[in-house]
Amino acid sequence: MSDTTIKIAFQGVLGAYSHQACFEAYPEANVLPCNSFQAAIDAVSVGNADLAMLPVENSTYGRVADIHQLLPNSGLHIIGEHYVRVHINLLGLQGSKLSDIKSAMSHTVLLGQCRNYLKEHNIESITGVDTAGSAEIVSKNQNLNQAALASELAGKIYGLDVLARHIEDESNNTTRFLVMSTNTKSVKIKENRIKTSLVFRVRNIPAALYKAMGGFATNGVNMVKLESYMVDGSFTATQFYLDIIGHPDETAVKRAMEELSYFTTDVKILGVYESGEY
């Protein structure tokens, strides 16, 4: 399938950082904006889109809420990942100046990534549904004292001027996206770039997590991410999300997975794919 025949669903409106991720990863693809992560997943499930581009974590803010709960039951597979260097820009109406700005609107995740700049310039934070959507609202409101925090792409789409560029608090501010599909990717992955993502729950026995992870250590399998989160609204039911380097068919990974199964339940592989360039 070539880029020109691919349609990618993402949460947000045109100009969102998810839109930027789609453009960077598949420059010639068509895009389908959706009003929620679930809607983007559903678009792929029913065949209205070929892929979904979903943000899972940001290097400054942390993980994106809801995504880890949606992934295991989405019916989709992770076939790739893409990292976007998130440059945050203060966007205002044409003709406005930085000194005019009293408030800035954006998604709560983005507001948290430039707190220092907003505090320094005495700019009030206004929570919007998403980044590009906030740029669209600012464009429609025609209030010289209001700005949006979003990508330069959003500024171009909604006719806003860049009043300040790259105002993020951290110089390495980056968001990781997962590329999701109904089918597993049938392309060759470089041996040293294979990543496997899975979820599991530990059994209710002493030191279950410690014992479950021991197999990866003894077999020399590199774990690059381990996160826990509550499921089913319970403080006692915990699910873990795990990223490892290697393929499930490799001998070392097989042994580690066998040991994992002794101390866990509901092990589910979400995808085997090539690590993105970070």
- Active-site residues, by number, are 175, 177
Retrieve residue 160's tokens. Answer: 């806003």
Euclidean distance between the first and the last CA atom of the chain, given in angstroms as a whole number? 25
| E-only strand ranges, 139-210 | 146-150, 161-164, 174-181, 194-202
Q: Tell me the β-bridge partners of 229.
A: 239
Distance CA 92, CA 37 (A): 28
Distance CA 162, CA 106 (A): 15
Distance CA 19, CA 11 (A): 8
What angle, 0 to 180 degrees and rounded to 10, lies between the N-to-C axes of helices 208-218 and 251-263?
A: 170
Tell me which residue of 222, 210, 218 sits closest to 262, measured CA to CA: 210
| E-only strand ranges, 100-193 | 103-106, 124-127, 146-150, 161-164, 174-181
Region class of 103: left (phi > 0), else alpha (psi between -120 and 50), else beta: beta
Tell me which residue of 239, 217, 215 sits closest to 226, measured CA to CA: 239
